[in-house]
Structure 1
Amino acid sequence: MEARTRWTAAIFLFIALDAASLQIRGALLPRFESSFDVSAGLLGLVAPAGTVGFVLAVLVVGFTAGRVTIERTILASVAAASVLLGAMALAPIYALFLAALFCHGLSLGAVRGLDRVVLSHLYPTRRGRVFTLHSLAWAIGAVSGPALAAFVVWFTDWRVAFGLLAVGFLPVLGLVSGLDVPSGIENEQPISRAALSELARTPAIVAMTAGLLLVGGIEGAIFTWLPYYAGESLPGALAPLALSAYLLAYVPGRLTYTALSERVDYRLLTLAIALAAIPAMYLAFVVVSGYALLASVFVLGLFMSGQFPLISAIGVEATPEYSGPANAIGTSATYVGIAVVPAVMGPVIDVYAIGTAMLLPVVLSGGVALVLGALWLAR
């Protein structure tokens, strides 16, 4: 029981710090621009620098989860994440900052390729609940990241924010040190090429991959462009509050879905909130503007907050012996969507306007509902 508690606390603390380090980058972009004297175009490299390394590590570690020494991999990766945050804080030139960011993404991805695997074996009969709590920890970290950036910048240099995050990873090392892997994780199967091909054809895995690719695209669009869109109808100083309102809704939303996941079938619950998200997104990005936008994106956040953890649980539940590869596929699909959709929206904004581009996440939300509806009908 003590070991399970320490593993859970370590993973939840790690995921909160992971989210904070992701969301803090956007908040500090103007500081990077002035400190490193780079153009806005070069600032765009921040997102892929962190994401590419992350996705590579998730895939490699996730697909070898049955072969790697899990506790050693997590310890080494957490230590590297802390050191690399320190390197980002001290980087004298932009190229070194991006290199450290890429390697930091690798270290985060190595743990993210294993964290849900560990939780899956710690809580084999409560995956929906624990995956939703895991995502709740991410939401708390995501809200905290921009707040930390604002606090640090108000008083001192932006580099201090990365130093504080580096120190934050140290308790994770203390929690994991000396722990054995959870009971049952030895049943995690190394996946062969034939088994991977079969896994990729499993209906639940196909639905999870397609659904999370679309969900990631929606979240990427919101994380990147919502403050810009809000600036069209809100004072510039208040526009970032739209993203804060959206992310804040993830906390009560994921608490609610944690409770519901033990009472309602994952597939039905996820389909219901995906359907509810469509009118909520249309209201937020088409109908309302100004201060009403803040309330509407909070409501939207309530419905979006449960989609990633519950869809992930559907895939892992279907193939528990391959939870590592299933987790890798789902997490990678999400981050591909996060990286690609905001980039696609950029040219649309240049040619048309931000209002037109914000129709894309509305369309994607309909796609999520179609995927989950097909899965429900095929059950």
Structure 2
Amino acid sequence: MERTRVWTVAIFLFILGDAMAMQARGPILSSLEATFGASEAALGLVAPAGTVGFAIAAVATGLLAGRIRMRWALALGVVGVVCALVAMAAAPLYVVFLVALLAQGTAAGVFRGIDRAVLSHLHAARRGRVYTAYALAWAVGAVLGPQLVSGVLVIADWRLVFLVLAGFFVPVAAVAIRTDLPSMEAERSISADALRELLRRPAVVGASVGILFTGAVEGIVFTWLAYYAGGFYGTGTANLLLSTYLLAYVPARAGYTLVVDRIPYLTLLFGTTVLAIPALAVAFSGVTGPLLFAAVFVAGAGLSSGFPALSAYAVEAAPEYSGPINAVTTGATYAGIATAPALVGVLAELYGLGRALWLTVVIGIALSATIAATWLWTGTANAPTVGTAAD
């Protein structure tokens, strides 16, 4: 039990720090623009640089979860994150910063590719609740990220942000290096045939597509919201707007933690994601003041259920393959996070940032439609398992 508690705390601490690091990227776009003279299209590369390596590494380690030594993979990931963050702080050129960001994302992907698989086996009896609590920890870290940037910029250069973040991961590295994992023997290795069969299951297909769209909207907001708000607010207020979006994740995900075992997954997801669509439309309509902050908060609350609920839904459909499922769902969300913000950067150059951000509304509609289609395809709002009509 002691090792279970230590590893659970370490994983939650990592996800907290990883969220802070991720949410520090958008608020420093203006600083990167000033330091390196990067264009909006070039600034749009921050999202793919931080997520392409992440997605590849997360998929690879997740698919191999039943074969690799999980503890040492986790240790390699967290140590790599620390080294890459230091390199980002020291980068003399924008291209060097992007390469270091790519390395940081890749190292984080090694850890994140199997961390939920580990939690799945440590807490098999309450998987849905632990996954939602995991997402809640991410939300808390995400709220703190922009405020960390604002605080550092008051007293120092943006580079200090990444040195502070590097120090945050040191305790996790100590746990990974010194503490054995409890038994992970319940995790099965997956063959190529079994993987193909798994990827044909309606629940897995629907969850993966839904998570792709969730990641796309989140990636756009994470990367561009503070920069967009910088057009009519100062840096501190612009970063506060992003924190307001992310702050909505905290009470919303806390609420989902309480109801996830009582309400079918797809019922919960459809209801919450539909609410986000008009909120996104209002947020990027050009309004300012309290209405903008309120719209952003509602959008955050509505979208915050997407990743944790869809992830748990997919794992419940095939719990013996939690590692591969984790790989597929993590890869899907970060594929969305990597590509959509870059597309917004290109559209912003052509039509202006305000118009480009309406892409979030289009993707939000596609997300709700995907959840509804999955419900119809499987014939149930709960996660179908082997032997049901949904297979």
TM range (shorter): over 0.9
> What residue number does 1:152 align with?
152
Given residue 361 of structure 2, which amino acid in structure 1 is its aligned partner? V
1:357/1:257 CA distance change after superposition, 3 Å: same
Q: Indicate the percent of aligned positions where both proteins have the same amino acid.
A: 48
CA offsets per residue over residues 261-313 of structure 1, 9 Å max, x none? 12222222122212222333334334954431111111221111111100111
> What residue number does 1:92 align with?
92
Q: CA deviation at 1:239?
A: 3.5
Within 5 Å, give how 1:266-345 maps onto structure 2. Answer: 266-286=265-285, 289-345=288-344
Q: CA deviation at 1:47?
A: 2.4
> What residue number does 1:49 align with?
49
Query: Are the aligned partners of 2:48 and 2:337 in contact in 1 as well (CA < 8 Å)?
Result: no
The separation in 2 between residues aligned to 1:273 and 1:37, in whole angstroms, is 40
The separation in 2 between residues aligned to 1:205 and 1:348, in whole angstroms, is 31
The separation in 2 between residues aligned to 1:135 and 1:375, in whole angstroms, is 22
Given residue 331 of structure 1, which amino acid in structure 2 is its aligned partner? T
Give the CA RMSD over aligned residues.
Answer: 2.1
Q: CA deviation at 1:325?
A: 1.1
Q: Which runs of 5+ in 1 are unaligned?
A: none
CA offsets per residue over residues 103-133 of structure 1, 9 Å max, x none? 1111100001011101111111222211111
The separation in 1 between residues aligned to 2:352 and 2:96, in whole angstroms, is 35
Of 232, 235, 249, the match for 2:233: 235
> What residue number does 1:245 align with?
244
CA offsets per residue over residues 136-190 of structure 1, 9 Å max, x none? 111111111121112112112222221111111111123334433334x212222
1:126/1:371 CA distance change after superposition, 3 Å: same
Counterpart of 1:28 in 2: which secondary structure? Answer: helix
Counterpart of 2:181 in 1: which secondary structure? Answer: coil
The separation in 2 between residues aligned to 1:367 and 1:44, in whole angstroms, is 23
1:36/1:71 CA distance change after superposition, 3 Å: same
Query: Are the aligned partners of 1:220 and 1:339 in contact in 2 as well (CA < 8 Å)?
Result: yes
**Greater mean deviation of Cα atoms: 337-346 or 105-114:** 337-346
Query: Are the aligned partners of 1:230 and 1:290 in contact in 2 as well (CA < 8 Å)?
Result: no
The separation in 2 between residues aligned to 1:351 and 1:27, in whole angstroms, is 23
Q: CA deviation at 1:335?
A: 1.1
CA offsets per residue over residues 90-112 of structure 1, 9 Å max, x none? 23333433322221111100001
2:2 corresponds to 1:2: yes
Question: What TM-score, normalized by structure 1, do the two folds share?
Answer: 0.92
> What residue number does 1:58 align with?
58
Query: Are the aligned partners of 1:79 and 1:173 in contact in 2 as well (CA < 8 Å)?
Result: yes
The separation in 1 between residues aligned to 2:278 and 2:194, in whole angstroms, is 40
Within 5 Å, give how 1:91-240 maps onto structure 2. Answer: 91-183=91-183, 185-230=184-229, 234-237=232-235, 238-240=237-239
Q: CA deviation at 1:354?
A: 3.9
Within 5 Å, give how 1:347-366 maps onto structure 2. Answer: 347-366=346-365
Given residue 110 of structure 1, which amino acid in structure 2 is its aligned partner? V
Q: CA deviation at 1:71?
A: 0.5
Given residue 343 of structure 2, which amino acid in structure 1 is its aligned partner? V
Q: Which runs of 5+ in 2 are unaligned?
A: 381-391
Query: Are the aligned partners of 2:17 and 2:165 in contact in 1 as well (CA < 8 Å)?
Result: yes
Counterpart of 2:17 in 1: which secondary structure? Answer: helix
Query: Are the aligned partners of 2:41 and 2:345 in contact in 1 as well (CA < 8 Å)?
Result: no
Q: CA deviation at 1:200?
A: 0.8
